[in-house]
Amino acid sequence: MNRSQKLIFNFLIGLLVVNCLVIVTKNIVRRERPTQILTDYSFPSQHSANAFYVAAYLAAWPLLKKKQNRQTRRYLVIGLYLCAVAVGYSRLYLNVHYFSDVVAGGIMGLVLAKYFFKTA
């Protein structure tokens, strides 16, 4: 398996792990949502975990570093993280998560992205 294939494989496995870890954590913590619109548990935010995982993993992607100049890369990375923050904000705006749910999900996504990228 070459480096690119390993990065893609680790990205997908990491995404699976993020989702499984969020589900397990939700069932351990069992925190109710701010509103009863959704019936599953709130902590941590799965949307935020996934968004920050994808943003962090793609921001570190070697292809992103090779194809663009520094300024273009900087804008792409900022754009990735702004999208992740927008996802987190949307969870608060829709009143389906508490702030701590979004932060915990984001941290979980960032940490796991770093781990799975380093092991690729």
Query: DSSP letter at 41?
Result: -
Fold category of 3-118 in CATH: Vanadium-containing Chloroperoxidase; domain 1 (1.20.144)
**How is the chain split into domains, by residue range?**
3-118
Q: What is the pLDDT of residues 3-48, one digit of tens each?
A: 888 989 999 999 999 999 999 999 999 999 998 788 889 999 999 9
Residue among 88, 78, 95, 17 at smallest CA distance from 52: 88
Instruction: Tell me the residue ranges of DSSP E strands in the chain.
Output: none
User: pTM of the prediction?
Assistant: 0.90
Q: Name the 3-class secondary structure at 81.
A: helix
Residue 39: its pLDDT value, please?
83
